Amino acid sequence: MNIIISGYGKIGDILIRNLTEEGHNIVVIDKDSYVLTQATNLYDVMCVCGNGADYDTLMNANVKNADIYIAVTGSDELNMLGCFLARKLGAKHTIARIRTPEYNDNNEGFNFLKQQLDLSLVINPEQLAAKELFNILKFPSAVNIEHFARRKFEMVEIILKSDSVLNGMSLIELRKKFSENFLVCVVRRGDTVYIPDGNFRLQAGDKIGLTASPAEIQKLLKKLSILKKKARNIMILGGSRTAYYLSRLLISSGNNVKIIEKDKKRCEVLSSLLPESTVIFGDGANQEVLMEEGLLSMDAFISLTDMDEENILISSFASSHNVSKVISKVNRTALSNLAEKFGLDCIVSPKKMISDVIVRYARALQNTEGSKMETLYKIMDGKAEAVEFVVEDSFNHVNVPLKDLSLKPDTIIGGIIRGRKAIIPSGNDVIMPNDRVIVIVAGQNMDDLSDIIK
Nearer to other proteins, 26 or 85 (CB): 26
Closest separation in Å from C-beta 386 to other proteins: 23
Nearer to other proteins, 65 or 252 (CB): 65
Closest separation in Å from C-beta 318 to other proteins: 36
8 A C-beta contact, residue 63 and residue 92: no
Closest separation in Å from C-beta 60 to other proteins: 9
Closest separation in Å from C-beta 382 to other proteins: 15
Q: Name beta bridge partners: 155.
A: 146, 211
Nearer to other proteins, 20 or 233 (CB): 20
Helix, strand and coil percent figures for the chain, each rounded to 5: 35, 25, 35
Taking Cα atoms as reference points, which of 211, 280, 261 lies closest to residue 437? 211
Closest separation in Å from C-beta 183 to other proteins: 30
8 A C-beta contact, residue 342 and residue 348: no
The residue type at 192 = T
Helix (H, G, I), strand (E, B) or coil at 339: helix
Helices (H), 178-286: 214-223, 241-252, 264-273
Nearer to other proteins, 66 or 250 (CB): 66
Helix (H, G, I), strand (E, B) or coil at 429: coil
Q: How long, in residues, is the chain?
A: 454
8 A C-beta contact, residue 71 and residue 54: no
Closest separation in Å from C-beta 65 to other proteins: 10
Closest separation in Å from C-beta 168 to other proteins: 32
Nearer to other proteins, 21 or 292 (CB): 21
Nearer to other proteins, 61 or 250 (CB): 61
Q: Given the rule CB under 8 A, which residues bind other proteins?
A: 2, 20, 25-27, 33, 37, 40-47
DSSP E strands in 333-419: the ranges are 347-348, 372-379, 384-390, 411-418
Could you give the CA distance from residue 135 to residue 160 in angstroms, rounded to a whole number?
Answer: 21
Closest separation in Å from C-beta 137 to other proteins: 37
HSE-CB at 83 with a 13 A cutoff on CA atoms is 28
Closest separation in Å from C-beta 46 to other proteins: 4
Nearer to other proteins, 39 or 208 (CB): 39
Nearer to other proteins, 68 or 298 (CB): 68
Nearer to other proteins, 32 or 276 (CB): 32
- Name the helix (H) or strand (E) containing 154: strand 153-159
Closest separation in Å from C-beta 383 to other proteins: 13
Closest separation in Å from C-beta 333 to other proteins: 15
* Phi, psi (degrees; rounded to nearest 5) at 60: -60, -30
What burial letters (b/e) apply to 85-97, b meaning 16+ CB within 10 Å? bbbeeebebbbbb
Nearer to other proteins, 10 or 147 (CB): 10
Q: What is the DSSP string of 296-330?
A: GG-SEEEE--S-HHHHHHHHHHHHHTT-SEEEEE-
- Residues in CB range of 179: below 8 A, 6 or more apart: none
Could you give the CA distance from residue 93 to residue 368 in angstroms, rounded to a whole number?
Answer: 14
Q: What is the DSSP string of 31-70?
A: S-HHHHHHHHHHSS-EEEES-TT-HHHHHHTTGGG-SEEE
Nearer to other proteins, 401 or 409 (CB): 409
